[in-house]
Amino acid sequence: MKKRLFSLLVAAGLIWAPAPAAAQAGAVAESRYVLNMRKGNDAFTHGNFPSAEQAYRAAIAERPDLAAGYQNLGDALFRAGKFSESAAEFQKAMERGDVPQKSAAAYNLGNALYKQNQLAEAAEAYKKALRWNERDEDARYNLQRVLDKLKEQQKQKDDKQQKKDESKEDSKDNKQQSKDQQQKQNQDKQQQSNDNKQQANKDQKQQSKDQQKKQNQDKQQQAKGQQDKQQQAKDQQQKQQQAKGQQQKQQQAKAERQKQQQAKAEQQKQQQAKAEQQKQQQAKAEQQKQQQAKAEQQKQQQAKAEQQKQQQAKAEQQKQQQAKAEQQKQVAAQQALGQKAPQPVNPQEAAKRDAQTLLRYIQEKERANVSSRRPKGPVMVAPGQETW
């Protein structure tokens, strides 16, 4: 049985506070009660159970209304092997204490009754402890042990009674058999007094009857042996079927686990494929974005080059116009001075020369732009190129 020192309510250095009603009895009695409880606890701790018993009885004499003294006295008596006396003290503590004290006293009362082999009474005490404290696992454990032992004792008692009944039945059968034998002997003696021939016939018939009876008994034994053999075969078959069913169940569980693992692996594979696809799509989108940015940049560069080309052509045209105006101005000035005017220029040749000059200028500018092209800003005209 599990045993706990739960009943020692006044530990070393701790004083069980009296109830307000008990405090009115006087400080002197209260002081003696506390002093005796401490003496008892000290003696109990050092294993001096007789001294502890004496101190606890003195404390109870001062405060018979408190459950702590009875509880500790019962525990000291229990440790001293006085189980009957300890049970009486635990009963008193159970009657005087509050709910926690009642539960502890009932538990210890169950232990004391168990030591006296009063199993039914011990079971009732443990049940009371559980009613007052349903979380008391020690009381629950001890109750189950006691109930199991009660069942075992009842079984032993039933077995003993059954053996007694069987012995009585065997004795009765022996008496009946003896009576039958005596009756048969009397019949045999009476028959012997009759005709010897009739006696011989009767003996022969009796012998035949006994032989038939023996044969019947042999057949019954053989039938019983066959039945036992069939039952054993049936039991063996059931056992094999159960083993087979268990094996099939294990195989099914194993197949189910494998199926779940395969499904999980397939799901992971699909997730990986999906992640890879998403990654490829993202890379493709990024590549398209870069290509679009590059195409946009090229488009902007082409537009800028076209704009620069147009500006250059416009500047060239302005230069030609300025040169023509300057030439006309010079001609007018010479005419005013009476100088001979210069020979007129063939317009086709002049246009051809101008076109060649403009082409060379554009090519040089493009080469210069390729070698030192800047991303932003207006096209700069080199000094000295504003006019022809």
Which pLDDT does position 345 carry in this prediction? Answer: 59
Share of the chain above pLDDT 70, in %: 83
> Which of 104-108, 157-161, 344-348: highest mean pLDDT?
104-108
Q: What average pLDDT does the segment 151-172 reach?
A: 84
Q: Please say if the pLDDT value at position 4 is more than 80.
A: no
Distance between CA atoms of residues 279 and 277, nearest Å: 5
Q: Please say if the pLDDT value at position 16 is more than 50.
A: no
Give yes or no for a contact between 191 and 199, defined as CB atoms under 8 angstroms apart: yes
Q: Is 315 exposed, middle or buried (0-12, 13-18, 19+ CB in 10 A)?
A: middle
Q: What average pLDDT does the segment 82-98 reach?
A: 95
Give yes or no for a contact between 66 and 22, defined as CB atoms under 8 angstroms apart: yes
Which pLDDT does position 51 carry in this prediction? Answer: 96
Total Cβ atoms within 10 A of residue 305: 14
What is the dihedral sign for C-alpha 359, 360, 361, 365?
A: positive
Which pLDDT does position 379 carry in this prediction? Answer: 40
Q: Is 57 exposed, middle or buried (0-12, 13-18, 19+ CB in 10 A)?
A: middle
22 vs 305, residue with greater confidence? 305
Which pLDDT does position 342 carry in this prediction? Answer: 54
Q: What average pLDDT does the segment 45-61 reach?
A: 96
Structure-token pair, residue 72: 């500790």
Total Cβ atoms within 10 A of residue 6: 17
Reported as a pLDDT band with limits 50, 70 and 90, residue 57 is: very high
Q: What average pLDDT does the segment 236-254 reach?
A: 86
Distance between CA atoms of residues 366 and 312, nearest Å: 10
Reported as a single tens digit per residue, the pLDDT across 202-238 is 767 777 787 788 787 878 888 787 887 888 878 888 8
Give me the helix-helix angle, 27-45 and 49-62, nearest 10°.
Answer: 160
Total Cβ atoms within 10 A of residue 54: 17
Structure-token pair, residue 73: 């006295």
Q: Please say if the pLDDT value at position 184 is more than 60.
A: yes
- How many CA atoms, within 13 angstroms, populate the side-chain half-sphere of residue 10? 28
pLDDT averaged over the chain? 81
Which pLDDT does position 173 carry in this prediction? Answer: 67
Which pLDDT does position 6 carry in this prediction? Answer: 37
Q: What average pLDDT does the segment 251-257 reach?
A: 87
Is 20-157 in CATH node 1.10.3720.10?
no
Q: Please say if the pLDDT value at position 387 is more than 70.
A: no
Rg (alpha carbons) of the chain, rounded to whole number: 63
Query: Buried (b) or exposed (e) across 102-139, using 16+ Cβ within 10 A?
Result: bbbbbbbbbbbbbbeebbebbbbbbebbbebbeebebb
Q: Running DSSP on this structure, what letter comes out for residue 340?
A: P
Reported as a pLDDT band with limits 50, 70 and 90, residue 80 is: very high
**Terminal alpha carbon distance of the chain:** 126
Q: What average pLDDT does the segment 343-356 reach?
A: 74
Q: Which residues contact 97 (CB under 8 A, 6 or more apart)?
A: 67, 71, 104, 105
Q: Which residues contact 322 (CB under 8 A, 6 or more apart)?
A: 387, 388
Which pLDDT does position 340 carry in this prediction? Answer: 52
Structure-token pair, residue 32: 């003696």
How is 104-120 classified by DSSP, letter by letter? HHHHHHHHHHHHTT-HH
Cα 371 to chain center, whole Å? 75
Reported as a single tens digit per residue, the pLDDT across 279-305 is 999 989 898 999 988 989 889 988 898
Sequence ranges of the domains in the chain: 20-157
User: Considering the entire predicted model, what is its pTM?
Assistant: 0.40
Which pLDDT does position 350 carry in this prediction? Answer: 74
Distance between CA atoms of residues 105 and 147, nearest Å: 20
Give yes or no for a contact between 59 and 69, defined as CB atoms under 8 angstroms apart: yes
Which pLDDT does position 327 carry in this prediction? Answer: 85
Q: Please say if the pLDDT value at position 25 is more than 70.
A: no
Reported as a pLDDT band with limits 50, 70 and 90, residue 21 is: very low
Reported as a single tens digit per residue, the pLDDT across 300-328 is 988 898 988 889 888 888 888 888 898 88
Q: Give which of 65, 64, 67, 42 is closest to 55, Cα–Cα.
A: 42
Q: Please say if the pLDDT value at position 29 is more than 70.
A: yes
Lowest-confidence region among 8-22, 122-136, 212-226, 343-357: 8-22
386 vs 242, residue with greater confidence? 242
